Amino acid sequence: MRITGGRARGIPLLLPRGDLVRPATDAMRQAVFSSLAHCVAGARFLDLFAGSGAYGLEALSRGAVGGVFVEKNARAADFIRQNISAVCKSLGRDTAGLQVVTADATLVFPGDAPDLIFIDPPYERIPALASKLFARLDSWLTEKPDALIVFEMPGELELSPVGWTCVKRLGKGARQPTAGIFRSSRASP
């Protein structure tokens, strides 16, 4: 698994052995960032259920200025820190403005509201957490209604969170990963 684009393209990402994380595929990340290209440079991000940190690190490689990775598993969080170091070294920058928080992604939204939020939870947990997570994000993002949420989910799942519009769906097919790009209904047109 590697960074697929931007200035750190090709940098390998370390992953814990076993099924501790289910990282977003290279193809999915390429599709997401092709769709987000106009709003990544200069953005701050929040990567929830970060796993390997792939979504946030892709954003960093493509011009995001910083962000927060939230991962509950301490071992996976250690791998994220190693991946941050490798990507930052390739970019010729320090790790300032990047933070790894070891916590439950459904309970903590650290710092100021970001421009981009990546959510890639374990698929089996999505039905139980999606509506609650979107509701919490809605109240947290009142100062930043134009923030975009990228939510990775299986292709057979449809999400229609109250107060949010899916402006684009990437990927296709049941049992295949897809990503919905959501915008608050309060966002400017």
Give CA 103 to chain center in angstroms: 15
Give which of 11, 24, 2 is closest to 178, Cα–Cα: 24
Token couple for 27: 């193809």
Q: Domain ranges in the chain?
A: 26-184
Write the pLDDT tens digit of every residue in 115-132: 999 999 998 999 999 999
CATH fold of the domain at 26-184? Rossmann fold (3.40.50)
Write the pLDDT tens digit of every residue in 15-40: 877 665 666 777 888 999 999 988 99
CB-based contact 60:91 (threshold 8 Å): yes
Token couple for 64: 């995001």
Element (H, E) at 126: helix 126-140
User: What is the mean pLDDT of each successive set of 10 residues along the chain, which is 189 residues long?
Assistant: 91 78 77 92 96 95 96 94 96 96 86 92 92 90 91 92 93 85 84
Cβ burial of 151 (10 Å; 0-12, 13-18, 19+) is buried
